[in-house]
Amino acid sequence: MITMLHLLAIDAGGTSTRAMLLTGDGTCLGVGRGGRGNPVSDGVDAAAGAIGTAIAGALAHAPDVAAQEVAAVTLAMAGGSIAGGAAAWLRPTLDHLGVVAPSRVEPDLLAMFTSGTHEPDGYALVAGTGSTAVRVRGGEVELTADGLGWLLGDSGSGFWIGHQVARAVALDLDRRGPATTLTPAVLETLGIERVTDHDGDGRPAALGHLVSAVYLASPLRLAALAPLAFADPDDEVAAAIIAEAEVALAQLVLDVASPDLTGPLVVGGGVATQPRVRESVVAAVRAGGISGPVHRVDDGLVGSGVLALRRAGVEVDQPVFARLAETTASRRG
Amino acid sequence: MITMLHLLAIDAGGTSTRAMLLTGDGTCLGVGRGGRGNPVSDGVDAAAGAIGTAIAGALAHAPDVAAQEVAAVTLAMAGGSIAGGAAAWLRPTLDHLGVVAPSRVEPDLLAMFTSGTHEPDGYALVAGTGSTAVRVRGGEVELTADGLGWLLGDSGSGFWIGHQVARAVALDLDRRGPATTLTPAVLETLGIERVTDHDGDGRPAALGHLVSAVYLASPLRLAALAPLAFADPDDEVAAAIIAEAEVALAQLVLDVASPDLTGPLVVGGGVATQPRVRESVVAAVRAGGISGPVHRVDDGLVGSGVLALRRAGVEVDQPVFARLAETTASRRG
């Protein structure tokens, strides 16, 4: 009897985690979900717990496959310097689930790229809360740009947009910047009433409440204001913020561009996949010589499966990739 | 027998606190110092302790003046909405020192202004870690601009400059921005060796160390990098950051300018008092119609004394102001 190859592939992110059980022909047998799965930002215990939950969910969809039969565990996650090694901190969780296979960490950006294409070369732009671009060659990340976080980089990201939104509202309320519909939108989001009262320093009471609300929360929470920038297409202040983000994100792709590599370009993340952002970025990088097809992805789950197959020696051609993408979409429901 | 008027004046700041004991003719009898004295950012207990230490130090210089003889306590500090009221949280500390007089909170920006001039009208620009400008009329703050903190405002401040410095170094190390002498300066300041090693993602190891160092510390610590921007006048990246800060600070003054008020302008804070920044800002606001004299101040201590005298009914004319400034300078040594 021929034993079928079974693999576990995990896309562990700072917001949520997804895991899949797949076979050697690229068939996804089940998808499971878990919480925040980044051991650096969330702590090793929390991340291992979230990943364990996701794996258990995936295995539950295929009761006839024993955890012991899984041949390898591929874990796509942020943290470039740890890629290629095993996730030792995940070992107890895997043992507990009965998974005896070794684990291997892969760059999350590579999994985003391989979620969009089976081609070995191209580019990925991921702009959600943060922003990063990579050049992929021969199936490996050749060059990375940004992804340096909200204080040092991530121009054009969700944090960056939300931060600019908050600053524009502060300028408006401080009567030093143009009026903008972002102001009522942000105040409503933060639960601040816009009354005509003034503070002791002659400024609107809402400005003081905005200051209190923003500094009481974690700075990264400003990313939650980013969607407001897309709400009113006629607001010039919001339009200027989005236009600057588009320029920054297009530049990020051009920063990793190589003249001998025209694509494809894979685009992911809540900001980069906004239709107007994607169209603007694509137009700008086309002018910069990236003429290949553009693929939009929601996360790195399919790509983690592609990487799992490749590391197991399976050639992922167009039929295998299509099967994996289709069965994953159907299994994630 | 005529009892001489004795007053306590305190300049309580986010970095340190100064207190003085003065007489009704504007003679400073003693200066004391304490630590961080802002009840909002440092907590009520810590702030009251720092202010108590400063008051005790000031009283110790005039052993023939009993604490009970002090007629009023004037406390200049940040927090516009609490100005004009008593500092109830300071009462136990005052009682403990034997000071029975009532306290009154005054805006720190007003004390900065009255540290530089006894004129009732004019402007103050204070740019240290944060940045704020005020218009003063009739001895009171008429209009305030910015001072909204590092996330919402404070363009051109020490935090803003330090943040831009860190981002420029990240761009340099990520090979996406121009080379700058800020890079070796920042790495040395943070104790990071600039070796030729590369991280797993192909980027310099120093970039990963910069990311770790910056995110492990409080964001506000970036203000400590601001002096590096002034270190090498030939570095174009640093020069561009300072030039942008100068434009922002000049705009801040112009944002509170009124056509019927030509000055004086009082300038304080570690950034605004840098010679090249002060000269650039003054040139810009002169072009905007602020033609009055410019006064540089180190802190709000003299001004807190001016406010104490005024609230006690003393007219602070040029001789009184000069006496207060001279005796304070001599007493603070």
CATH of the domain at A139: 3.30.420.40
Residues A202 and A81 in one domain: no
Q: What percent of chain A has pLDDT over 70?
A: 97
Shortest distance between the Cα of B324 and any Cα of chain A, in A, equals 27
What pLDDT, on a 0 to 100 scale, did the predictor assign at position A202? 73
Separation CA B304–CA B76 (nearest Å): 6
Residues A45 and A106 in one domain: yes
- What is the rounded average pLDDT for all residues in chain A? 94
Residues B94 and B10 in one domain: yes
pLDDT at residue B67 is higher than 60: yes
What pLDDT, on a 0 to 100 scale, did the predictor assign at position B1? 46
Instruction: Give me the mean pLDDT over the A70-96 stretch.
Output: 88
In a domain, residue A1? The reply is no
pLDDT band at A198 (very low <50, low <70, confident <90, very high): confident
ipTM: 0.88
What pLDDT, on a 0 to 100 scale, did the predictor assign at position A194? 81
pLDDT (tens digit, 9 = 90+) per residue, B272-295? 999 999 999 999 999 999 999 999
In a domain, residue B107? The reply is yes
Enumerate the residues of chain B whose CB falls inside 8 A of the CB of residue A163.
151
| Three-state DSSP class for residue A254 | helix
Q: What percent of chain A has pLDDT over 90?
A: 86
Identify each DSSP E strand in chain B by its residue range.
6-12, 17-23, 28-34, 70-77, 103-107, 122-127, 131-137, 140-146, 265-268, 294-297
Instruction: Work out how many domains chain B is built from and give that number.
Output: 3
Residues B192 and B292 in one domain: no
In a domain, residue B179? The reply is yes
Residues A59 and A207 in one domain: no
User: Measuring CA to CA, how many Å separate A38 from each of A34, A46, A79, A93, B153?
Assistant: 11, 8, 9, 15, 31
- What is the rounded average pLDDT for all residues in chain B? 94
pLDDT band at A200 (very low <50, low <70, confident <90, very high): low
In a domain, residue B23? The reply is yes
For A131, the domain range is 122-154+242-297
pLDDT at residue B233 is higher than 90: yes
pLDDT at residue B78 is higher than 90: no
In a domain, residue B75? The reply is yes
Shortest distance between the Cα of B172 and any Cα of chain A, in A, equals 11
What pLDDT, on a 0 to 100 scale, did the predictor assign at position B81? 57
pLDDT at residue A82 is higher than 70: no
pLDDT at residue B196 is higher than 90: no
Locate the chain A residue with the closest alpha carbon to B166: A152
Q: What percent of chain B has pLDDT over 70?
A: 97
Count the Cβ atoms, other than its own, within 10 Å of residue A330. Answer: 10
Worst-scoring range by mean pLDDT, A76-80, A236-240, B45-49? A76-80
The pTM of the full predicted model, rounded to 2 decimals, is 0.90
By Cβ distance, the residue of A81, A146, A151 closest to B219 is A151
CB contact under 8 A, A203 and B170: no
Residues B17 and B113 in one domain: yes
> What does the angle CA B143 – CA B149 – CA B153 come to, to the nearest 5 degrees?
70
* Domain final position from A221, A237, A253: A237
By Cβ distance, the residue of B143, B170, B255 closest to A202 is B143
Separation CA A53–CA A51 (nearest Å): 5
Residues B138 and B260 in one domain: yes
Residues B254 and B145 in one domain: yes
What pLDDT, on a 0 to 100 scale, did the predictor assign at position A86? 87
In a domain, residue B278? The reply is yes
* Mutation target among A151, A169, A212, A218 for the B interface, most CBs of B within 10 A: A151
pLDDT band at B200 (very low <50, low <70, confident <90, very high): low
In a domain, residue A199? The reply is yes
CB contact under 8 A, A144 and B201: yes
In a domain, residue B1? The reply is no
CB contact under 8 A, A203 and B80: yes
pLDDT band at B12 (very low <50, low <70, confident <90, very high): very high
Instruction: Give me the mean pLDDT over the A154-183 stretch.
Output: 97
pLDDT at residue B80 is higher than 70: no
CB contact under 8 A, A211 and B148: yes
Cβ pair A73, A104 in contact under 8 A = yes
Enumerate the residues of chain B whose CB falls inside 8 A of the CB of residue A107.
201
Worst-scoring range by mean pLDDT, B35-49, B63-77, B117-131? B35-49
Shortest distance between the Cα of B107 and any Cα of chain A, in A, equals 9
Residues A11 and A93 in one domain: yes
Higher pLDDT, A248 or A199: A248
pLDDT at residue A1 is higher than 70: no
Residues B147 and B293 in one domain: yes
Enumerate the residues of chain A whose CB falls inside 8 A of the CB of residue B140.
none
pLDDT at residue A26 is higher than 60: yes
Residues A78 and A29 in one domain: yes
Cβ pair B12, B105 in contact under 8 A = no
Residues B220 and B185 in one domain: yes
What letter represents residue B137's amino acid? R
CB contact under 8 A, B202 and A142: yes
Enumerate the residues of chain A whose CB falls inside 8 A of the CB of residue B214.
149, 151-152
